[in-house]
Amino acid sequence: MTEKEKMFRGILYNPFADNMPEERQKAHELCQKYNSAPEHDTATRNKILDELMPNRGEGVYLQGPIQFDFGTHISMGKNSYANFNFCVLDENTVTIGDNVFIGPNCSIYTPVHPLLPEDRNTGYEYSAPVKIGDNCWFGGNVTVLPGVTIGECCVIGAGSVVTKDIPPYHLAFGNPCKPVRKLTEKDKAPFALEKSTKK
């Protein structure tokens, strides 16, 4: 088994083997190019993303700046959006659904370092995948830790640190992030409210 295969299986692996340092360096340099490209130059930005993050749906928009470790381990569904300073350490797979809104300064982490220093100082680590369902919304400064699954249609409050799975259709927030209540029809935006016609 290669070190990269161990990485995806959640087994301790050497992150400096199997050409991984070169792949990370390439991704970091592509992120720098993306971040330097003018916002109006969508052709250049999309060309960079085709190489950096090819597994994305139609209508994906990354405001930038972005910082990915590989990029190629991230999949992002159609019409999903990430605001300023989106950081993804994708040593394992990161699956983001359709119509996901990610606020500024959000981070998703998949790598895990050993707890004991004698193990950690060997340089070996392991990783766990992250999954985010369709139609989720993250407030600003949300951090998602390795191995977490967030169900569809969840709202994660600003500043939350998500350490455990969140069930679908829940409002959740805090550090550690916890489900507060289920989202219902009562949360529907009041678009039907009659507007005043008085001048």
Which residue numbers are catalytic? 113
Q: How far apart are the first and last CA of the chain?
A: 73
- d(C-alpha 34, C-alpha 154), whole Å: 29
Q: 123: burial class by Cβ within 10 Å (0-12, 13-18, 19+)?
A: exposed
> Which tokens go with 163?
């350490």
Tell me how crowded residue 52 is: count the other CB atoms within 10 A of its CB: 23
Identity of the amino acid at 29: E
Q: What's the chain's Rg over C-alpha atoms? A: 19
> Which tokens go with 46?
């999309």
- d(C-alpha 141, C-alpha 106), whole Å: 5
Find the DSSP H helices in 13-164.
20-36, 42-52, 117-120
Q: Which of 107, 142, 149 is nearest to 128 (CA)?
A: 149
